[in-house]
Amino acid sequence: MPNFPPPDGSTESHDGRGDDPRPGSGLEKTDLELVKRAQRGERSAFDLLVLRYQHRVIKLVARLLRDPAEAEDVAQEAFVKAYRALGSFRGDSAFYTWLYRIAVNTARNAMASRQRRPLDYEADLGEHEQASVQSRLRHVDTPEAVALSDEIQQTVERAIQELPEDLRTAILLREVEGLSYEEIATAMDCPVGTVRSRIFRAREAIDRNLKPLLD
Amino acid sequence: MTDQIKEQISALLDGELPQNELNLLVRRLERDPALRLAFGRYALVGEVLRAPGGALASAGFAERVSVAVAAGESAATSAAAYAPSTRRRRATPLVGAAVAAGALFAAVLLLVPEQAEQLQPARIAEPPAPAAVAADIEASGAASPTPARSQRMAAYLVAHGEYSTPIARRNVWTGVLANDPGITRVSYEFSEAR
């Protein structure tokens, strides 16, 4: 059984706080608000939760499955399951923690199903043929995605470096360190409103570079 | 899309949007796909900064999920429409029987006796009656008690009787026979003859 990453989605590159909902944090409250709306039938509220967590869930599932091609299907299934089970979400844990469990279970089921498949055509192939098929599958499934992912990565990093100091600090404290606006305001010795504005301007500057890649 | 709204989206993403701004923004996001795209791109920036490398959702992933959710929802709605609740399930046989019996009874009431030449004796009207009884029937002018329509109705009852309860079936049969003067007379006179 693979080692599952922690539900906070943390990686080795930082302390893992990120924008992960901490108990009582604004993010958790916002998620809960969106969940409540979705529970009342506002599907657009659930769409926002999908937009917020789609990359994280896909990253998680891809790591578990070790198959980027299958990751989106499984992630989609996880989101659909989450929506159907939304009525049972009581807010005892953060929404992402709950979603994380669903995603992990869905990935586990997918792996089990893969192992149960009666006809594994790869087993009938020789080593060379198997490698060739794998190689072709990877090329068919991921080259554009990998290239785009790399390009997005580089674009964001470049855009961050080009930001004015105050904007860069604000966005990194928020996104990487996971500080609240109030904590950032204290750290940067400025009003909360200014923090909000700086973070927005930082995102806008990055987005201007990112948008052409995604359109 | 104004900067003010985009700033609200940014704050929403961080969980820092005041409640009074949240309601309006969520409604705006619901209406405006461009705003949702901006929300998605802002989320992507955060994801890239927090966890570099690895897979990212392809463009349109969230939309596909939304479509899948909607499809599942409509399928569930359809299933619910075809899967009656326990209470409805309990009521269904009675309601069905009542409707069937009602329809049949109405059809029976509409039956009009047909001309004598069109009439044929039905098996049910062929009791091993004495000759006197048969002669009496002929004299009464109702020699053929079961008209063709009644025969069709009888055939219908035989074919579709499974959809009604025994009591309802019996009631409808009684209706058919009660409307057949010949049968009534035969039964009465036959019993009298005995």
List pLDDT tens digits, range B73-119. Answer: 777 666 655 554 444 444 444 444 555 555 555 555 554 444 444 44
Name residue, tokens 């929404």. A95
CATH class of A142-215: mainly alpha
Chain A (85-144) residues lying within 8 Å, Cβ to Cβ, of chain B: none
> Is there a single domain that holds both residue B111 and residue B76?
no
> Is there a single domain that holds both residue B112 and residue B65?
no
Where is average pLDDT lowest: A28-32, A40-44, A209-213, B188-192?
B188-192
Greater model confidence, A82 or A113: A82
Q: d(Cα A57, Cα A7) in Å, to the nearest integer?
A: 10
- Other Cβ atoms closer than 10 A to A141: 16
Q: Do A176 and B49 touch (CB under 8 A)?
A: yes
Q: Do B57 and A54 touch (CB under 8 A)?
A: yes
**Residues of chain B with C-beta less than 8 angstroms from the C-beta of A51:** 36, 39-40, 43, 62
> Is there a single domain that holds both residue B129 and residue B77?
no
Q: Is the pLDDT of residue A81 over 60?
A: yes
Q: Return the percentage of chain B with pLDDT > 70, whole number.
A: 39
> Is there a single domain that holds both residue B95 and residue B188?
yes
Q: Is the pLDDT of residue B142 over 80?
A: no
> Is there a single domain that holds both residue B107 and residue B184?
yes
**For chain A, what are the domain ranges?**
19-116, 142-215
List pLDDT tens digits, range B28-60. Answer: 999 999 999 999 999 999 999 988 878 888 888
> Is there a single domain that holds both residue B102 and residue B187?
yes
> Is there a single domain that holds both residue B107 and residue B133?
yes
> Is there a single domain that holds both residue B14 and residue B62?
yes
Q: How many domains would you assign to chain B? A: 2
| Domain assignment of residue B19, given as a range | 3-82
**Residues of chain B with C-beta less than 8 angstroms from the C-beta of A83:** 69, 72
- The domain A19-116: what is its CATH number? 1.10.1740.10
Q: Is the pLDDT of residue A118 over 60?
A: no
DSSP string, A38-80: HHTT-HHHHHHHHHHHHHHHHHHHHHHHT-HHHHHHHHHHHHH
ipTM, two decimals: 0.77
Query: Which of these three, B59, B82, B105, is where a domain ends?
Result: B82
> Is there a single domain that holds both residue B76 and residue B93?
no
Query: Which of these three, B50, B82, B114, is where a domain ends?
Result: B82
For chain B, the first-to-last Cα distance in angstroms comes to 98
Judge whether B9 and B42 are in contact, CB under 8 Å: yes
How many beta-carbon pairs under 8 angstroms link A with B? 175
Q: Do A72 and B61 touch (CB under 8 A)?
A: yes
Q: Kindly state the DSSP code that residue A86 receives in the 8-state scheme.
A: G
> Is there a single domain that holds both residue B38 and residue B21?
yes
Chain A (183-212) residues lying within 8 Å, Cβ to Cβ, of chain B: 196-197, 199-200, 203-204, 206-207, 210-211
